[in-house]
Structure 1
Amino acid sequence: MSLASHLEELQRKHGDMERQLDQALNHPSIDDLEIATLKRRKLALKDEIEKLRSQPTRH
């Protein structure tokens, strides 16, 4: 998998996670622990995206 396609996949997953989090925040039966877990997973994806973007390109 190329770096560009890997980044695209991570960005897609991050967007999916954002939508899941928004739905959870609007659903009264979701507990705080589940919301915290979703936030941590979303942040981990964002960190991985930023890490890959900051790597120097290889030729």
Structure 2
Amino acid sequence: MQTAHHSALEAKHAGLDQKIAAEAQRPLPDTALLAALKKQKLKLKEEMTAQ
């Protein structure tokens, strides 16, 4: 059973996925921003699997 918290985490995870994809498509992607976004995404993934 999914809780509202888990659904919110999934939504944030998907949003980060979109931001990462958009940044990666830029001609000169900001590598520091990409690293930060990926780190946030990993933390969300870990939180989702911990539940």
| Structure 2 length-normalised TM | 0.88
Q: 1:30 maps to which residue?
A: 29
How many pairs were matched up?
Answer: 50
Following superposition, which runs of at least 4 residues in structure 1 exceed 4 angstroms of deviation? none
Unaligned runs of 5+ residues in structure 1 are 53-59
Deviations 1:29-56 (A, max 9, x none): 332111100100011100000011xxxx
**In structure 1, C-alpha distance between the alignment counterparts of 2:30 and 2:4, rounded to whole Å:** 34
Choose 1 or 2 for highest CA Rg.
1
TM-score normalised according to structure 1 size: 0.77
Q: What RMSD in Å do the two structures reach over aligned CA positions?
A: 1.2
Unaligned ranges ≥5, structure 2: none
